[in-house]
Amino acid sequence: MPVTDDGDTPTVSERDIDALFRRESRRVLATLIRLLGDFDLAEDALQDAFMAALRQWPTEGVPASPRAWLVSAGRFKAIDQLRRRARFDRAQDEIAAQLEGSADDPALLADDAIGDDRLRLIFTCCHPALAREAQVALTLREVCGLTTEEIARAFLSKPATLAQRIVRAKQKIRSAGIPYDVPGERELGERLAAVLQVIYLVFNEGYLSAGDQQVLRHDLAEEAIRLAELLVRLLPEPEACGLLALMLLHHSRRHTRLSDSGELILLEQQDRRRWDRQEIARGDALVRRALLSQRFGPYTLQAAIAAVHALAPDSESTDWAEIVGLYDLLYRQMPSAVVALNRAVAVAMRDGPGAGLELVEALLTEGELGDYHLAHAARADLCRRLGLVDQARDAYQRALTGTQQPAERRFLEKRLAELAEK
């Protein structure tokens, strides 16, 4: 912080406070939600606290612990607000009295408690009683601090619809008495899985956006990575490490996934010299850490597959036998048709397109992937590589009818145009 001419009293500008707001507001909000037990009241208190800081700090100086000062100021602002409401609702007066009675408890503002509040907030926003869409929206709003308009744009919703979803989620938390805490060991596995899935959904929307304005949403992908980093720091479970590793390894290729004209570039054609080696190293270390725990799950295995790709010096050097083996392990933990499809593509790279095509066609015959455009795209590519032009064309057409993602559609249309020339 800057100091005055006499060097004694710290001073602060509006710009400094604005920077502090961007850096600390989510932490302060998480603690205020714990103390006040109400999302909306906490959000009002957060704004009031920073307004008070704007008024007082430039003349009175910066407190020794700005975050604790903001939490304390916000809580007293909330008590004042409840007192005003008490003229119309006596229950508000009782709540205010309870909050006032605990105002001097130093444990409430301890650094450890405030740190844990962010973790509590993530688990509250991702409670299984809430619909998945509500979990994602609430997490982005309350934990990440994205505006309603930003979240609506990211997920192709109207801001009013998204706002109502968030309101209903908060009402559900209040009416159902959803606890604001990290679950105990007995419930942790189930609840952690929901948290990880929400974070990964956010990342996937950034990795390949459903919108037609931006194919890649680096802001969302990076927000998901920040969430996972927070989770790993506060709760270093192996699968949390695995998810963070998976996202870092995928994100390391962000500058090579699109051409200058905005077209998708397949993995084997990307310029590996431009991959982010620092993120690859971090991701690889996290994978190894998770695997050594012997308590890893699907995210860690997917990250291990991504690490094999990332560490190969070129496409031809990729260890496809190891990747097939990892998919075998993944399928045992997560026996889904999509995992089987990805394994089939890896088998094609290891044993040739004929072997892969046989597996893909068997999966399509079973019917579960009949409407999955990537299954038809995989079949089309294998047919193309085998010289089966008519079958490749039909499969590309099926894939094209199954996706509305603009960049994917352009890629498939380009493939069809190339086949028309043969």
Report pLDDT digits (tens) over 92-132: 545 444 545 454 455 444 444 445 787 888 889 989 889 98
**Do 345 and 378 touch, CB atoms closer than 8 A?**
yes
Q: What is the per-residue pLDDT for 342?
A: 97
Distance of CA 165 to the CA centre of its chain: 18
Are 163 and 148 contacting, i.e. CB atoms less than 8 angstroms apart?
yes
Q: What is the 3-state secondary structure (H, E, C) of 324-387?
A: HHHHHHHHHHCCCHHHHHHHHHHHHHHHCHHHHHHHHHHHHHHCCCCCCHHHHHHHHHHHHHCC
What single-letter amino acid sits at 25?
A: S
Provide the residue ranges of all domains of the chain, joining segments of one domain with +: 14-109, 115-251
Task: Compute and round to an integer the Cα radius of gyration of the chain.
Answer: 26
- Position 306 scores a pLDDT of 97
Across the strands, what pairs with 264? 258
Q: CA neighbours within 13 Å on the CB side: how many for 363?
A: 25
CB 211 within 8 A of CB 153: yes
Q: φ, ψ for residue 3 (rounded to 5)?
A: -125, 165
Q: Which stretches of the chain drop beneath a pLDDT of 70?
A: 1-12, 85-115, 154, 156, 209-215, 422
- Residue pair 312/318 in contact (Cβ under 8 Å)? The answer is yes
Give strand pairing partners of 258: 264
264: helix, strand or coil: strand
Quote the pLDDT of residue 12: 67
CA geometry: angle 50, 53, 58, nearest 5 deg: 145
Tokens, residue 3: 């100091």
pLDDT digits (tens, 9 = 90+) for 187-198: 777 788 888 988
Is the dihedral angle over the CA atoms 298, 303, 306, 312 positive or is it negative? negative
The whole-number pLDDT of residue 5 equals 44
- What is the rounded distance in angstroms from the CA atom of residue 298 to the CA atom of residue 304? 10
- End-to-end CA distance of the chain: give it in Å, rounded: 68
Q: What is the pTM of this model?
A: 0.76
Cβ contacts of 396 within 8 Å, gap of 6 or more: 376, 377, 380, 412, 415, 416, 419
Whose structure tokens read 């919108």? Answer: 211
* pLDDT score of 250: 96
Strand partners, 3: 10
Residues 6+ apart with CB under 8 A from 62: 1, 10, 11, 12
pLDDT, residue 47, reads 92
Position 96 scores a pLDDT of 45
What is the Cα–Cα distance from 254 to 317, expressed in whole angstroms?
A: 21
